């Protein structure tokens, strides 16, 4: 059974909820899912996964959350060739750099040699019905790449 590893950073709970939605959708696709808060894992934990997912919020004017910076730096040093990845996250459209941390992780996974399995999903604050549909579609696309 394919393993999907989801690692998230959440300050308000919005990104944790997004990660939980993706986890449930991946389980519904028949995948084994491990979900962890970013301070509980190292980037090399992704080496054991078939699908690698980051859920992050964007802080302030486009900054990565402090608690996920180390993971971000480690990720760029890995060789994730043969792995499928996806990135989701929350932000606030009030800021010009809406969800830019999602884009930063997208680039980091690409730099590590992983294959993008689905377009990133960016959520304005908390996930609404349309966001949930987009997150479920995201999970289905990822799962289809390992079946």
Whole-structure pTM over 0.85, yes or no? yes
87, 53 Cβ separation under 8 angstroms: yes
Nearest-angstrom CA–CA distance, 6 and 130: 21
Given a cut of 90, whether residue 60 has pLDDT beyond it is no
Question: What token pair was written down for 136?
Answer: 């479920």
Q: What is the mean pLDDT of residues 6-11?
A: 97
What three-state secondary structure class fits 96?
coil
Domains, the chain, in order of start with CATH, read: 3-144 (3.40.50.360)
Query: For residue 46, what pLDDT is reported?
Result: 98
């Amino acid at each position: 059974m394919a393993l999907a590893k989801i690692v998230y950073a959440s300050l308000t709970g919005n990104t944790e909820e997004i990660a939980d939605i993706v986890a449930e959708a991946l389980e519904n696709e028949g995948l084994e899912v491990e979900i962890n808060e970013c301070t509980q894992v190292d980037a090399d934990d992704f080496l054991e996964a078939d699908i690698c997912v980051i859920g992050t919020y964007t802080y302030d004017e486009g900054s990565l959350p402090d608690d996920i910076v180390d993971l971000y730096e480690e990720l760029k040093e890995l060789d994730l060739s043969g792995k499928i990845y996806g990135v989701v996250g929350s932000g606030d459209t009030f800021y010009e750099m809406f969800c830019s941390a999602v884009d930063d992780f997208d680039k980091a996974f690409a730099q590590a040699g992983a294959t993008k399995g689905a377009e990133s999903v960016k959520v304005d604050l908390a996930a609404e019905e349309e966001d949930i549909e987009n997150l479920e579609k995201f999970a289905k696309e990822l799962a289809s790449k390992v079946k």
